[in-house]
A and B are shown apart, each in its own frame.
Chain A
């Protein structure tokens, strides 16, 4: 059985990167001041970014926060 992800937050960073001239993970990392490994971890759902980093990512793509990150309905009830 695959190990469960440490976060239930999903994101569209990969899609948004491709929609922005195929921005690389390294370019996004440089824009928001983290390492490329951190961008990879966020994209793969292995790390929940701080609110500040989340807003920075949304700002890079010029979209609202909830277009980058999603939280499943009813997740807080469990």
Chain B
């Protein structure tokens, strides 16, 4: 597994993991508090920061377990990265569109922010999965 592929695994695991933790913290609050009053901002920012830290730690752990020959991305890594980002960009577009519709329709900030956040998470997860498939099955 190349250094770049390890980075994709780390990004996938940290993005998905941080979002699951965010949901575990925020969703139960919705059961007894109106969405407009649910404190989501701190968990959202913290999960985003945590995902970056976890990605770095996971990548370092993978590198210690199985050191890579090279730490430089090559032409194939760059093509695969471009492919993943291009194919998954619709997740961000979708999240932003739902957020925009929510703003037009005067939704609570909670739902608008979470629609956009979900778009970013899906972009990270779908893009990572597509990149891993490209690494394994070919581009």
Contacts and interface: CB of A to CB of B under 8 A. Distances in A.
A47 B2 CA distance: 15
Contacts of B105: none
Q: Which 10 residue pairs across A and B have the least CB separation, nearest first?
A: A46-B138, A6-B138, A34-B74, A37-B2, A38-B76, A35-B2, A35-B74, A36-B69, A35-B70, A38-B74
A41 B69 contact: no
B77 A35 contact: yes
Contacts of A20: none
A47 B139 contact: yes
B137 A33 contact: no
A3 B133 CA distance: 12
Contact of B138 (A7, A34, A53): A7
Contact of B69 (A3, A7, A35, A45): A35
A34 B135 CA distance: 14
B75 interface: yes
A65 interface: no
Interface residues of A, number: 20
A76 interface: no
A34 B139 contact: no
B53 interface: no
Q: Is the interface of A mostly helix, strand, loop or mixed?
A: loop
Given A33-B74, A35-B77, A41-B76, A47 B138 contact: yes
A5 B139 CA distance: 9
Interface in A29-55: 29, 33-38, 41, 45-50, 53
B69 A26 contact: yes
B1 interface: yes
Contacts of A50: 75
A33 B72 CA distance: 10
Most chain A CB atoms below 10 A, which of B68, B69, B76, B137: B76
Contacts of A35: 2-4, 68-70, 72, 74, 76-77
A37 B1 contact: yes
A19 to B, nearest CB: 23
